[in-house]
């Protein structure tokens, strides 16, 4: 498995399973169990997804030692603030049924709160209840403010990223600070699978369109958390290590960039 070494030396699996929109408990347990069976060791959930309990159940029944797993969850917008975040963290640990977390993220930079939220993450990191403090959906503006106020700069930023929204500027900014980038919606929620170039490359490499896109992310050194509840796709999305895209094909995919944002823009998100 490919691991990404973070600034503090912790190794994070470069491919994990995202579990957003897994709302059916049995479906969630089955998907996470299937992922762990085929070799995934990282799971990306959030209190907002309301499935931490099912993720916890699947990891417990897998029998995989806790230290081999890399569990991420996030503090939601209505849980932010210093004390509130400490309590939200407790709730998440309890639901997951674990006694420390690998990666905790501020889900969105709620104005007037995200600095205090992150300070709570710093405390959890100091107390060794958390191995890696990070953020999600933080723009350069928000990261700049944050880094002027905290001691430990986040080690991960999880943002929307896929061939139609390649986030070059955020990635450069994060690279300069050794903030690893995780791509959410790495497949553009499935919308990019039909792209003509992606389809063409899938034929050339004898891989699926999803594998072409996910391999492109890996070769850009990005962490990916594709979501699927379909066993064959869960396996497919993890079978990325037996081929390599040529430099010229990487560049052709880079030309697909088109400001094709699907989710909210952190700089204009309406937090009300
Ligand atoms: P993805 O880009 O991962 O796409 C998921 C969709 O693609 C699903 O409909 C899935 O279908 C389908 N799919 C997955 N693999 C394949 C495949 N091999 N072939 C064909 N179709 C496929 O979108 P997400 O938005 O779910 O993003 C991934 C994860 O990122 C989330 O689960 C979550 O953990 C995280 N995220 C974080 C956000 C944040 O604000 N921090 C926001 C959004 C997501 P099916 O399941 O039916 O197989």
Q: Is the pLDDT of residue 135 over 80?
A: yes
pLDDT at 269: 87
Name the band, by pLDDT with cuts 50, 70 and 90, for residue 82.
very high
Nearest one of 59, 83, 271 to 73, comparing CA atoms: 59
pLDDT at 66: 98
Pairing, β 42-44 against β 70-75: parallel
Spatial contact of 81 and 52, defined as CB atoms under 8 Å apart:
no
C-alpha 108/C-alpha 237 separation (Å) is 26
pTM score above 0.85: yes
Cβ of residue 187 lying under 6 Å from some atom of ligand 1? yes
Spatial contact of 117 and 80, defined as CB atoms under 8 Å apart:
yes
Both structure tokens of 219 = 């070769």
- Coil, helix or strand at residue 34: helix
Q: How far, in whole angstroms, is CA 54 from its chain's centroid?
A: 18
Name the band, by pLDDT with cuts 50, 70 and 90, for residue 74.
very high
Nearest one of 42, 196, 60 to 131, comparing CA atoms: 42
Fold designation for 3-187+220-229: TIM Barrel (3.20.20)
Catalytic site includes residue 40: no
pLDDT at 271: 78
Nearest one of 74, 67, 120, 114 to 95, comparing CA atoms: 74
- Residue that is written with structure tokens 């170039």 in the block: 197
C-alpha 14/C-alpha 70 separation (Å) is 11
User: Residue 80 contacts by C-beta under 8 Å, 6 or more apart in sequence?
Assistant: 106, 110, 113, 114, 116, 117
Nearest one of 166, 139, 101 to 267, comparing CA atoms: 139
Q: Is the pLDDT of residue 175 over 80?
A: yes
Which of 184, 194, 195, 262 most suits a substitution to test ligand 1, by most atoms within 8 Å of the C-beta?
184
- Among candidate residues 20, 40, 48, 49, the one labeled active-site is 49
Name the band, by pLDDT with cuts 50, 70 and 90, for residue 272.
low
Nearest one of 200, 256, 250, 259 to 222, comparing CA atoms: 250
Per-residue pLDDT tens over the stretch 212-250? 999 999 999 999 999 999 999 999 999 999 999 999 999
Q: Where are the domains positioned within the chain?
A: 3-187+220-229
pLDDT at 270: 80
Per the prediction, the chain carries an average pLDDT of 97
Residue percentage of the chain with pLDDT more than 90: 97
Which of 191, 217, 228 most suits a substitution to test ligand 1, by most atoms within 8 Å of the C-beta?
228
Per-residue pLDDT tens over the stretch 4-49? 999 999 999 999 999 999 999 999 999 999 999 999 999 999 999 9
Determine the length of the chain: 272
């Amino acid at each position: 498995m490919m691991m990404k070494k973070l600034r503090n030396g912790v190794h994070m699996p470069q491919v994990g399973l995202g579990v957003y929109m897994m709302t059916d408990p049995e479906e969630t347990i089955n998907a996470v169990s299937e992922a762990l069976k085929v070799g995934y060791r990282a799971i990306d959930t959030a209190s907002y997804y309301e499935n931490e309990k099912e993720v916890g159940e699947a990891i417990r029944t897998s029998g995989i030692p806790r230290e081999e797993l890399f569990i991420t969850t996030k503090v939601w917008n209505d849980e932010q603030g210093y004390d509130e975040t400490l309590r939200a963290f407790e709730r998440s640990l309890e639901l997951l049924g674990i006694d420390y977390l690998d990666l905790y993220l501020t889900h969105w930079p709620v104005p007037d709160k995200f600095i205090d939220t992150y300070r709570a993450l710093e405390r959890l990191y100091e107390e060794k209840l958390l191995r890696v403090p990070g953020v999600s959906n933080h723009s350069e503006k928000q990261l700049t403010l944050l880094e002027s106020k905290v001691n430990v700069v986040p080690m991960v930023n999880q943002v929307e990223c896929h061939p139609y929204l390649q986030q070059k500027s955020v990635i450069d900014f994060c690279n300069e600070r050794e903030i690893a980038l995780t791509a959410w919606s790495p497949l553009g929620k499935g919308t990019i699978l039909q792209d003509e170039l992606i389809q063409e490359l899938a034929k050339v490499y004898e891989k699926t369109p999803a594998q072409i896109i996910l391999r492109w992310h890996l070769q850009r050194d990005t962490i990916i958390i594709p979501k699927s509840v379909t066993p064959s796709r869960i396996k497919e999305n993890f079978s990325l290590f037996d081929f390599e895209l040529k430099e010229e094909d990487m560049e052709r995919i880079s030309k697909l960039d088109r400001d094709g944002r699907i989710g909210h823009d952190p700089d204009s998100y309406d937090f009300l």
